[in-house]
Amino acid sequence: MTVGQSVPRVDALDKVIGRAKYTDDLCDKNAYIAKILHSTIANGIVKSIDVSEAVKIPGVVKIITCFDVPKFYFPTAGHPWSTDPAHQDVQDRLLLTDRIRFYGDDVAAVIAETEVAAKQAVEAIKVEYEEYPFVLDAQEAMKPEAPQLHEAYPNNILGHSAIRRGNYEEAIKEPGLIKFEAWYETPTVQHCHIENHICYASMEGNRITVVSSTQIPHIIRRIVGQALGIPWGDVRIIKPYIGGGFGNKQDSLYEPLCAYLTTQVGGRPVKIDVTREETFVCNRVRHAIRSHIISWVRPDGSFAARKLECFSNQGAYASHGHGIAAKGMNAFPQLYPVDNVECDSYTVFTNRPVAGAMRGYGIPQAMFAVESQTDDIAIALGIDPVEYRRKNVMPVGYVDGFSKNENYFDSFNQCLDKGEKYLDFNRKFKEYQNQTGPIRKGVGCSVFWYNTAVWPISLETSACRMILNQDGSIQVQLAETEIGQGADTAFAQMTADALGIPFNKVHVISAQDTDITPFGLSAFASRQTYVGGFAIKQTALLLKERILKYANELTRMPAFELDLVEGQIIRKGDGRVMISLADLALEALYSLSHAEHMTSESTYQIKSNAYSFGCCFAEVEVDIPLCKVKLLDIINVHDAGMLINPALAEAQVHGGMSMGIGYALSEQLLFDPKTGKTLNDNLLDYKLSTFMDHPHLEAQFVENYEPTSAFGTKSLGEPPVCPVAPAIRNAILNATGVAINNIPMTPHILFDRFKEEGLI
Amino acid sequence: MYDIKELFEATSVQNAVELRLAHPQALILAGGSDILIQMREGKLAGRELISIYMLDELRGVTLEEDGTIRIGSLTSFTHVTQNPIIQKYINVLGEAVDMIGGPQIRNIGTIGGNTCNGVTSADSASTLFAWDAMIELTGEEGARRIPIKDFYLKAGVVDIRPDELQTAILIPKESYEGYNGHYIKYAMRNAMDIATSGCSVNVKLSEDKKTIENVRIAYGVQGPTPLRAVNAERIGCNLKISAELLTQISEGVLEDIKPRDSWRASKALRQHIAVEMAHRGLVEAIKLAGGEV
C-alpha cells in the first residue's frame, strides 16, 4: 500500500534539476510577443485611439484595439458550465474594451517581434478617454447616486442572498441577553503565485492551440470558444507544469485574447507573458469583504439570535461573483448553529481590479469576522475561548440541509485538543492576561468551517484513463491538474493501490491536453483528491477486471478467483503467483492468438460533499511602542480525513499558513482615492510575508475516515489559510487587550488603535 | 529584456571619465540593482549605460596611513559586512547594509550605488551620515572629497559632476575612533523590504563611561534626503547618562526630522517611530560603548 505513505513527489527530480517544462520553456523562441495597453482611468469610455506613431516602431507587427475585436461577451469564472442559462456565469467581458471600468482595463494589444518593440509601441499609442466619476468602496457603490458600472445591475449589486431562520426580532426580546455588535474588514489581496500567468497561441488548420499557465484547461477551451464565437472543438488547450495558481488561474485570464491575436497574424505563435504589475492589477484578487455581526448572547454564552450583513467588493467585472460572499455567509449559521438568524450578503461592482477565486473562497474573510467576535464574546463573559468554542461549535451529528454534509466525528474537539496541547494554551492564555510594559505576549485560537468540492451548487465529475504498457506499468490521465500541490503524486498513489501495482509502475501524464485528456473540471474547490479518487478507483477496477479476464485465458483459473496484488496475478485461494502483470501485458500485446490493447476509461459523477474542519493556535509578541507583531509560534490542526501523502499534506498546510500570516499581518492592495490606480502593484510595496517573518510552522492532523470518500479523504488545499488571521488577531487581543477588527494588522493599524486605547 | 540604447564597458577609472564626457546622457551602472529595475519599469527605458562593474580597483576596504577607512565604491554589501576592518572599527555599517534586500541583492549591490542613487531610504546612508563619512569623486582633474551631507543635494540628486564618478567612501579616523554605534531599520517585514525609516546612532563616552562626550543621530526617510538630528545631538553632549537624558535626546529629534504623509506611512507614525528608534539606538550604542543605562 502506498496510500498513507510519504512517498517522494513524482515530479520532484524534474523540478529540482530544472528539467520540468513550464509554458515559457515550451514556447517557440520566434513567437511574436504581445503587450497590452491598460487604461489610465478608472471609469469611462475610449473615444479614440491613435496608433500612427506606434506602428512606425521597428518590430511592431500589428496593433489591435478595442474597436477591432469581435463583440462576443464571455464569462471568465472557472466554474463548470451550466446548460441552464439561469445558472451560467455572468458574461460581461470582451477581449478588449472601449467601456473602461477600472484603472488597468484592457484597451489595446500590440503584437511585435520583440518585447522591447511591443513595450515601446504600447507607450506610443495615444488614447482619448471620456472620464466618468468612479467608486471604489462596495457600500458607497450601492448608493443611488453612485456611478453605475453595468446596466443590468442597478445599484451595482451583482448578487444578494439571504438566510432567514427562526424569528430574529422575537428572539432578541428574551430577557437577560447581552448584545455584541461589530464591523470587521478584510483587505484586497492577491495570490502572488511565483509564475505569473503566461500563455501562447498558434494555429494549425482552422484550429487554435493555446498553451497556458492555467488550473483549468477544459474550462478554458469552452471560454476561448465563447469569446471568439467559434466551435469549442476548434480550440485545444494544453496545460504544462505551472508555478502556482491559488485560484487566480481558476479564471480565464489572457487565453481568449491570445487566441484571437494569433488569428490576426496568420496563426503564428503569439505569446502573452504577464508582468507582476499586471498580475496584481489585471488578473484577479481576493474579495475585500466588510462584515457586520450582531450577536445576542445568553450569560452562559449560547446564542439566542444572530445577524450578519456582508458587503463584498467585486471590482469591475463579475468573474466568480457572488459565490464567494454567499459561501462565507452560508458557513456562518453552520459553524455555530443558532435557531434565529438573519443573514444578508451583497456582492457589489466597484471600479477596482476584478475579484475572483482565491484559496478559501470567502471563508478566510468570514472566519476573520466570526472568529474575532467569538473571542470578544468569550472574553467578555469570562469564558476560556477554547472552552467557549467547544460548547458552541457545530455538534457531532449535525447535517446541513442543502449539501447533506454531516459532521460524522468529533473533529473540532479532537483538533482543539491537539492545538491547545501544542501551544500550552490554557496556561499561557491566563498568564498573558493583564500584562504591563512595552513588550507583551499573547495566544489566540480560531476554528474554521470548510467543505469539499462544489456539489450540490454545481456539477462534480471526474474522468480517468489508464493504459497498460508491455512491462506492466501504466499511464494514468485525469483532467484534474497538478498546480504545485502534489496532485500527480496523490493520483499515482491512489492508482497503485486501487489497481494493485507498485507505485513506481504508475506513470502520471501530468500535462493536460484537451484533445487527449479525458474531460473534467480541474483544480479548484479543494476537490481533486476527493473527486479524482472516485474516478481513479472506478477506472482501476475496470482495468483490473480486463486484466483478470485475460489472466483467466492464461492461467485457466476463473477471474473471480484471481487478484492483482503488487503487480502479480495471484490465486486468491492459496496466494500463489500465477503470472506477473508484466508477463501478462507482454503476452496480451504481442499474442498471435488474442492480442489486446488494455485500457480503461470512465467517468464518475460525484453527488456528495464532505465537511473539512480544523483550527489554528498562534502565539505572538507585541512591541507596543514600535507597533509591531512578532509571530512566535503557530499550529494548524486539520481533520482532512485520511491523508494520502502525509508529507504533501503537511506542505499544503505550511503554504496555507504562510498565506494566512501575510493576510493577517502585512498584505493589502492599496488604491489611490484620487485616480483609482493600484498603488502597490509590486512585490516590494505589496508586503508578502517572507521566510524571515515566519516562525516554525507546525502542522498536525486528526485522521477520521471520511465515509463518503473513495479513499477516506477530503479537502485540504484551501482550509489551511482559513483560520490563521483570526487566531493571530485573538493573540494580539490576549497580549494587549486591544481588539483589532481590520486586517492586515500592520504597524499603521496598530499605531492608530494603540493610540485610541491609550497604550502609546 | 531591457530597453538599453547602448552599453559602454569602462576599462579603468580614467576610461570611465572619458566615457562620461563622450556620452553625457549615459547613466553609470554599478551592480544594477537600482538602474535595471527603473529601466524595466520604463523610467530609464532607452538610456545609454556606462558600466563600471569590471573596475576591480574600486573594490575592497583599506586602512589609509592616517587611519582613514577607505571603502571602494564598488564594494558589495556582502563584502562590506564581511570585511575585518569594517567589523573592527565601524561594525554598525556592516550590520546596516546586511539589512538590504536579500542575499543575492547584497552580493550584486554596491555601497557606491546605494549612495549615488540619492534616495533617503538607503540603508547605508544614515550610518554614513552618522559617522561623518566623506565621498570621493574622481573626474578629469583628479579626485575631490566632500562630506556626505554635501553630496546629497535633494531627493534623488547627488553632487556628481558630468565628468565624475564616485570612487570611494571614506571614514576619517576622528569620526570613528572611540565611537560605538547601532542601526535600526524599521520596515514592514523582516526581509526584502525598504525602510519605512532607519535610524543610526553612535556615541563616544567619557573614560568612566558615565558621560556622553558626543552623540550622533542620523535618519533615513525622515526627510527628502538622509539627515542628522543636530538639535537632539546638541542636547546630549557632555552630560551624564540618565533615563531622563535619553528621553530628552530622543524627543529632541522631533525638531530635526521632516517626515511627510504618504501612502507608505503617515507622518504621525514616522514621527512616533523616530523618537522610539532614537531611544533604542541610544541605549544600544551606550551599551556597546561599555556604558550603563
pLDDT tens by residue, A145-181: 999 999 999 999 999 999 999 999 999 999 999 999 9
Cell triple for A366: 468570514
Q: Is A760 within 8 Å of B272 when comparing Cβ atoms?
A: yes
Query: Sheet holding B165-171: strands in order across?
Result: B61-63, B69-72, B165-171, B134-139, B142-147
pLDDT tens per residue across span A632-661: 999 999 999 999 999 999 999 999 999 999
Q: Which residue of B has its CA nearest to A438?
A: B276
The three-point CA angle A23-A27-A29 to 5° equals: 145
Question: Is there a domain that residue B154 lies in?
Answer: yes
d(CA A744, CA A722): 14
The verdict on residue B26 lying in a domain is yes
A602: helix, coil or strand? strand
Under an 8 A CB cutoff, do B193 and A119 touch?
A: no
3-state secondary structure of A499: helix
- CA-nearest of B128, B100, B120, B95 to B220 is B120
- Interface probe for B, chosen from A24, A687, A756 (most Cβ of B below 10 Å), is A687
Question: What percent of chain A is predicted at pLDDT more than 70?
Answer: 100
Whether A684 and B266 lie within 8 Å, measured CB to CB = no
Q: Are residues B65 and B119 in the same domain?
A: yes
Q: Measured between CB atoms, does A677 come within 8 Å of chain B? A: no
**pLDDT, tens digit, 9 for 90 and up, residues A660-672:** 999 999 999 999 9
**A121/A125 Cα distance (integer angstroms):** 6
One-letter amino acid identity for A206? N
- Give a yes or no: residue B131 inside a domain: yes
Burial class (CB in 10 A: 0-12, 13-18, 19+), A421: middle
Domain co-membership, B122 together with B163: yes
CA distance B276 to chain A (A): 7
Confidence band, pLDDT 50/70/90 cuts, at residue A273: very high
Write down how long chain A is: 760
Q: Would an 8 Å CB–CB cutoff place B268 in contact with chain A?
A: yes
How close, in Å, is residue A372 to chain B by CA atoms? Answer: 23
Contact A626 B273 (CB under 8 A): yes
Any chain B CB within 8 A of the CB of A43? no
In a domain, B211, yes or no: yes
List the domain range (segments joined by +) for residue B17.
4-51
What residues contact residue A201 under an 8 Å CB cut-off, 6+ apart? A208, A209, A210, A211, A255, A258, A259, A261, A262, A269, A270
Same domain? B11 vs B39: yes
Nearest to A464 by CA among A450, A474, A449, A454: A474
Interface ipTM: 0.96
Q: Given CB atoms, is A748 within the 8 Å cutoff of chain B? A: yes
Mark yes or no for CB contact B263/A687 under 8 Å. no
A115 vs B: CB within 8 A: yes
Of B118, B142, B174, the position where a domain reaches its end is B174
B63 has a chain A CB within 8 A of its CB:
no
Residue A593 scores a pLDDT above 90? yes
pLDDT of residue B1: 84
Note whether B273 and B163 are same-domain residues: no
**Does the residue B90 lie in any domain?**
yes
> B193 to chain A nearest CA, in Å?
6
Interface test with A, best of B276, B277, B280, B283 (most A CBs within 10 A): B276
Provide the pLDDT for residue A597. 97
| Alpha carbons A225 and A213: distance in angstroms, whole number | 18
pLDDT tens digits, one per residue of A554-564 = 999 999 999 99
> Do residues B122 and B104 both lie within one domain?
yes
With CB atoms and an 8 Å threshold, state whether A693 touches B190: yes
DSSP run (H or E) holding A489: helix A487-499
Name the residue among A119, A687, A748 with its Cβ closest to that of B269: A748
pTM for this model (two decimals): 0.97
CA distance A197 to chain B (A): 18
Q: Residue A9's pLDDT is what? A: 98
Residues B281, B190 share a domain: yes
Cβ neighbours of A116 in B, within 8 Å? 1-3
- CA-to-CA distance for A426 and A310, rounded, in angstroms? 33
Instruction: State whether B138 and B193 are in the same domain.
Output: no
**B267 and B165, same structural domain?**
no
pLDDT at A107: 98
Chain A with chain B: Cβ pairs closer than 8 A: 58
Say yes or no: B226 and B281 in one domain.
yes
CATH of the domain at B121: 3.30.465.10
The confidence score (pLDDT) of residue B260 equals 95
| Percent share of chain A, pLDDT over 90 | 100
Task: Identify the closest residue of chain A to B187 by CA–CA distance.
Answer: A747
Domain-terminating residue out of B116, B146, B174: B174
B37 and B66 within one domain: no
Residue A378 pLDDT more than 90?
Answer: yes
Residue B189: its chain A contacts at CB < 8 A?
Answer: 666, 687, 689-690, 692-693
Can you give the CATH number for the domain in which B22 is found?
Answer: 3.30.43.10
pLDDT tens for the 293 residues of chain B, in order:
899 999 999 999 999 999 999 999 999 999 999 999 999 999 999 999 999 999 999 999 999 999 999 999 999 999 999 999 999 999 999 999 999 999 999 999 999 999 999 999 999 999 999 999 999 999 999 999 999 999 999 999 999 999 999 999 999 999 999 999 999 999 999 999 999 999 999 999 999 999 999 999 999 999 999 999 999 999 999 999 999 999 999 999 999 999 999 999 999 999 999 999 999 999 999 999 999 98
Domain total of chain B: 3
**Residues B218 and B246 occupy one common structural domain:** yes
Say if the Cβ atoms of B272 and A751 lie within 8 Å: yes
- To test the contact with chain A by mutation, choose from B194, B266, B269, B279 the residue with the greatest count of A C-beta atoms within 10 A, namely B269
Q: Chain B window 67-86: which residues touch A at a Cβ cutoff of 8 Å? A: none
Q: In this structure, is residue B67 part of a structural domain? A: yes
Asked if the model's pLDDT at residue A111 lies above 90, the reply is: yes
Residue A579 burial by Cβ neighbours in a 10 Å radius (0-12, 13-18, 19+): middle
Rounded mean pLDDT of A105-134? 98
C-alpha cell at position A555: 492461467
Say how far apart CA A463 and CA A605 lie, in whole Å.
9
Residue A467 confidence (pLDDT) above 90: yes
**Alpha helix (H) residue ranges in B10-68:** 13-22, 35-41
List CB contacts of A655: < 8 A, sequence separation 6 or more. A720
Given B139, B174, B209, the domain boundary residue is B174
Measured between CB atoms, does B180 come within 8 Å of chain A?
A: no
Tell me, yes or no, if A672 comes closer than 8 A to chain B by beta carbon. yes
A690 and B189: CB-CB below 8 Å? Answer: yes
Mean pLDDT of chain A: 98
Ramachandran bin of A733, using left for φ above 0, alpha for ψ from -120 to 50, beta for the remaining angles = alpha
Q: In this complex, is the C-beta atom of A689 within 8 Å of any C-beta atom belonging to chain B? A: yes
Q: Find the distance separating the first CA and the last CA of chain A, reported in whole Å.
A: 60
The C-alpha atoms of residue A600 and residue A271 are separated, in whole angstroms, by 36
Are B250 and B170 contained in the same domain? no
Q: Please check whether residue A286 is in contact with residue A355, taking contact to mean a CB–CB distance below 8 angstroms.
A: yes
Instruction: Give domain status of residue B293, yes or no.
Output: no
As given in the structure block, the three cell numbers for residue A372 are 474575532
Q: Examine residue B197 and state whether it is found in any structural domain, yes or no.
A: yes
CATH code (residue B230): 3.30.390.50
